[in-house]
Amino acid sequence: MDYDHHNLLNYDYLYLLRVLGSDIYLSKCVKFILKLTFTFHMALLVVQLYFFLLAPSTTLLINYGPPVLQMCYADFIILNLLWRSQLVQEIMSVIDLWEIDSAGEDTKRRIIRESRRINVFVTINVILVMTWATSHVVCYDSSETVFVRHTLHLLFPRLTTFLVVLFNLTTYVAGVAAMAHPFQMIYVTQHVTFQMYMCKILIEELSSCKTLEEKLIYDEDYQDLTKLRLKSLIKRHSDFIRWRDNTLLIIKNLMIPFILAAIGITTSIALSLLQDVISWRSYLLLVCVLLAITSLISAGHHLEDEVKHSAMFGLILNDFSVRENVDEFFYPKMVHLEYQKPEAFVDNFDQHN
């Protein structure tokens, strides 16, 4: 099986995920819109915080705190997208991607089937978020934006209507941006999972010749092919280790800000559910957040399971015939890599700390 190597695939079955999670934020026009939204939201947040501190109360916090915390979360995501707009490229820069068309038909069908499921999830999540944003635009005087309308009326009484409509429109930007990082993590983990599927095919081909082993030992063509495939397999395993270490390093640097952001959005939903009259928008937002969390956990466990079930190097030499000199040349390298096998992300994150 011959593989072509790319950092990003020419034909990407997760193209929708990549566009919504990464590619659109490389556009100068989109960056400009993100900067305007961030500036507008930050100005509102400062003024709202000032008014709240003048007369703080639990009632005000429960009734008007959720939109403020949601704006904080959206602004953090927007700031990070402006700062790290090429996060996917940074994570995937250390590993070459084998073209999916190079895989066997069974593996290719499996990858396409799983990619379709992921694309369906992305579509549903986008529809839910767009529905949430549209409800703010259609319903001018929604209860969630009372504090915003009051603040804008105090500052710009003649422009209140225009500014409120503008603020409601920014919920589209905030909603799409909020999905970016979950989509990015799902994209990179799923592609590495797909690469492991294809690596299994290489292992199967490597151990496919099990007859006439005494003849294979003296077959020059077979020995040369085996040596070439072993080199490719060892390099591939090294790629996975390098990708893991690079991803853990990037995630480690972003872990604390993301934890704070997660606490903020969780607190906003909790406060929304404590209100006397709970808006259906709060339930819709809760569904979107739960979908994102579930998908991230599922993608992570999927990758972890594939790592655990991929015995890439431990017993390969028992499954095919190699000459003694080839065995002696590769076995130390394979044992060395076996002790560095990709483990669960959680275990490695603990070790890095």
pLDDT in tens, 157-198: 888 888 888 988 999 999 999 999 899 999 999 999 898 888
Domain residues for the domain of 326 are 5-352
Residue 316 clears pLDDT 90, i.e. is over it: no
**Among candidate residues 291, 326, 332, the one with its CA nearest the CA of residue 313:** 332
Summarize pLDDT for 267-284 with one digit per residue, the tens.
988 888 888 778 888 888
Alpha-carbon dihedral 8, 9, 11, 17, rounded to 10 degrees: -50
Owner of token pair 């909603």: 175
Separation CA 184–CA 18 (nearest Å): 7
Summarize pLDDT for 221-267 with one digit per residue, the tens.
666 776 777 777 778 888 888 888 888 888 887 888 788 888 888 89
- pLDDT of the residue at 328: 46
Entry pTM: 0.80
Give the C-alpha distances (Å, rounded to integers) separating 123 from 17, 127, 137.
Answer: 9, 6, 21
Query: pLDDT category, 329, cuts 50, 70, 90?
Result: very low
**Among candidate residues 268, 345, 68, 286, the one with its CA nearest the CA of residue 353:** 345
> Tokens representing 285?
């937002």
- pLDDT of the residue at 336: 46
User: Into how many domains does the chain fold?
Assistant: 1
Q: What stretch of H or E contains 5?
A: strand 5-6
Give the C-alpha distances (Å, rounded to integers) separating 111 from 114, 186, 233, 263.
Answer: 5, 14, 20, 35
Separation CA 136–CA 159 (nearest Å): 18
* Cα 4 versus chain centre, distance: 24
